[in-house]
Amino acid sequence: MNKPIRHNNHILETESTKFFNNHVPNEWFVDKPEHDYGIDFIVNIVSKNNVTGLSFSVQLKSKIKNINSKTISIKLKHSTLGLFNTKLEPVMLIVYNQKDYEAYWYWYNDLNVDLTSTQKTYTFKIPKTNKLSIINWESVSNYVKDTFSIKLLVDGIKDLEFNEISNSQILAWKYYFSKDFEKAIFYFKNLLKETPDDVLVLEGLAQSQYKSFYYKEAIHNINKVIKISGNDNHYLTKACILAEDGIQNNQKGKIIKAKNLFKNFLVKNNKHFIYHYNYANSLSYLGNKQDSIKHFEICLQLNPNFEQAWKNLGSVYFNIGEHEKEINCYDNALKINPKLPQALFSKGITLSRIYNRDKEGLNLMLQVINDNETRLLEYRYGFFEIAHVYKKLDKIKESLSWINRGLDFYSNDVVYLNFKSNLLIENWVDNEWLKDEAVNFFEFRLELDKDYRSLYAILKIKQIVDENTIFSLIKENTLLFNEISLKSIKLCNICLEDSLVFLLHYDRYIVFRDNNPIHRYIDHLISELYIITSEFWDILDLVFAISYSSAIIAYARSKNPDDIANKILDVISLSADCLSILFSDSDFSKEDSISIMSHIYLEFPLLVVREFGTQVGMITGSLGITRINSEDIISEVWFNKLQENTLTVINKKLKLIKEE
């Protein structure tokens, strides 16, 4: 009967593990990760029976023998090195040689590896002078502290003496190193009650508050540190806080201050990659794209394995439209860290928006989330981007679901609000199930910010045709009908139900009208013989608002610039009917009536032509379209018809010429 045989590789693995464990200080403890993705052990550093929170990872390999007397080689996969590169704690590479009954070690962080290359495996040689049996574990502890100090931007970590500090301090740092910043804040604050000027505790508190997005408190405490004993690292921390606070809360002044601080670091040390990285980020946000690219490139020359720099450089290329370079940057970031969420998400957005590879882009974005949607809170418009792809894929329910999730967090954000408005307006007619949600949303938005498109949608979805109701709702939610009566609107032959289109772009029209006040036309119509009614200006304003919105809609449908001018001409020609209420008096002498008629006949068409030219210029300019020569559009036939309508309407008012 054959008995199971234990393979030599298993024996060698057990032997190497025992050798390693036997040489780790007894006070320290070793954890083995549940899943081995390149890390075999995590060694936790303990001081005076207190777990410090400091640790380092170990990759352990073993060999039966080694030919070279001076070095021993170790081969590692590209993906494994990418994992090492993402870790906060340093990684120790250890190779056990059975023949020597010895293990040899080296810090991965001290290797010079370019992870953006296409190599699948890398071979490293570890000097045999680095024997694990004689390693100085105190120097290991110091190396770990130095690494944490650099990566966490807390200068004092490297000088921490755990055997000399209190248990409360050890707890504070333990939570800090494990990234439980809220608990770290609690302990740091308690420590400051006894020693309010402890620089290291203040520094830890400021960093914890910074990592928890409490920017005001973080700035306050780092300023205290700087006042007591400010060094370069403290100023660097302040600059980082200012930059992130400025970017997150759209405060340009803070970003400028941060940029100037980062620039000062470059003057002192032009060879530190992190200085170029921080400077490049601030330049990018401030709009200086080319200089930003330059400093990202210098950063990556100094440290080609800085995946976040590759990702941020890609974002700059996105903003300037160089998308091939952008994708290449994301790919380099993902070679280093295949799970880098920012690179995955940004690449997904570009694949969908620029290359119309919607399913591929969506898969990358969803990969970032997995089962943890809260990760999307790192990206203000993450929910929006996913909803946008689902909309492109014509998956309306999924798109609506994602935009609603975004609105749960950003209920006042106009990007989210407008997306949902567009989604509902474009789809409620063909999807009966959308109507109730659409009405509820548009009523909410109308109350929230007097959104005119929401009023339009409510009127259409509810199929409100009663002019008194329409008039009341428009008057309640706009400034347009302050001086207008429904009777006057009817006198001017305006059907309110047919005129609702003006609401779709009324917000843009208001901006246009603020820059081009309607009363600038008063010189065309003013006369000593009559007083112009305020209703006339308001109803004329309504007609002009209809033409402005209709022109934008016409261009959106056809993408033909001529349709802008033609639509304005179609609508604006109706403005002659507004002359019905130009003035209230009608008891004029024949001589005065002739003077009034000739004055209006000559001037009102010129007023309309001026408005036509102004609207065409403003709309084409705002849409980035080549300006249309309005004189080429207006035909003699159209102008004569406008004059004829003007004469007809004003004659009805004055009854000067007998109508046949």
Per-residue pLDDT tens digits for 469-518:
999 999 999 888 888 899 999 999 999 999 999 999 999 999 999 999 99
* Percent of the chain whose pLDDT exceeds 90: 71
pLDDT digit string, tens, across residues 38-75: 799 999 999 878 888 899 999 999 888 777 889 999 89
pLDDT digit string, tens, across residues 246-265: 888 889 999 999 999 999 98
Summary mean pLDDT of the chain: 91
- Alpha-carbon distance 278 to 243, whole Å? 9
Question: pLDDT tier at 376 (50, 70, 90 boundaries)?
Answer: confident
Contact 143, 119 (CB under 8 A): no
Question: pLDDT tier at 630 (50, 70, 90 boundaries)?
Answer: low
Mean pLDDT value across residues 416-444: 95
CA distances from 174 to 44, 168, 198, 432 (A): 11, 10, 18, 57
- Identify the burial level of 35 via C-beta atoms within 10 angstroms of its C-beta, where 0-12 means exposed, 13-18 middle and 19 or more buried: exposed
The C-alpha R_g of the chain, in whole angstroms, comes to: 36
Is 212 strand, coil or helix? Answer: coil
Mean pLDDT value across residues 135-164: 88
- Alpha-carbon distance 329 to 309, whole Å? 9
pLDDT digit string, tens, across residues 564-611: 999 999 999 999 999 999 998 778 899 999 999 999 999 999 999 999
Whole-number pLDDT of residue 162: 82
pLDDT digit string, tens, across residues 151-210: 888 888 888 888 788 888 888 998 998 889 999 999 999 999 989 999 999 999 999 999
Contact 277, 304 (CB under 8 A): no
- pLDDT exceeds cutoff 50 at 6: no
Mean pLDDT value across residues 431-441: 94
Question: pLDDT tier at 660 (50, 70, 90 boundaries)?
Answer: low
* Domains (range + CATH), the chain: 8-147 (3.40.1350.10), 516-654 (no CATH)
Q: What is the dihedral of CA 475, 478, 481, 483, to 10 degrees?
A: 110
Q: Which helix (H) or strand (E) holds 55?
A: strand 50-63
Whole-number pLDDT of residue 143: 94
Q: Which of the residue ranges 226-240, 363-377, 395-409, 613-627 has the most confident prediction, judged by mean pLDDT?
A: 395-409
- Alpha-carbon distance 129 to 136, whole Å? 13
**Residue 186 contacts by C-beta under 8 Å, 6 or more apart in sequence?**
none
Q: Which helix (H) or strand (E) holds 345?
A: helix 341-353
Is 61 strand, coil or helix? Answer: strand
- Inter-axis angle of helices 273-285 and 252-268, nearest 10: 150
- Of 37 and 425, the structure prediction assigns the larger pLDDT to 425
- Alpha-carbon distance 409 to 403, whole Å? 10
Q: Compute the Cα dihedral for 303, 305, 308, 309 and give only its sign.
A: positive
- pLDDT exceeds cutoff 80 at 346: yes
Question: In the numeric block, which tokens belong to residue 216?
Answer: 């005001």
Residue closest to 544 by CA, chosen among 518, 581, 522, 565? 518
- The total number of residues shown for the chain amounts to 660
Contact 198, 188 (CB under 8 A): no
Q: Which of the residue ranges 108-117, 118-127, 595-604 has the most confident prediction, judged by mean pLDDT?
A: 595-604
- pLDDT exceeds cutoff 70 at 658: no
Whole-number pLDDT of residue 371: 62
The residue type found at 430 is D
Cα-Cα end-to-end distance for the chain = 124
Contact 558, 629 (CB under 8 A): no
Whole-number pLDDT of residue 649: 94
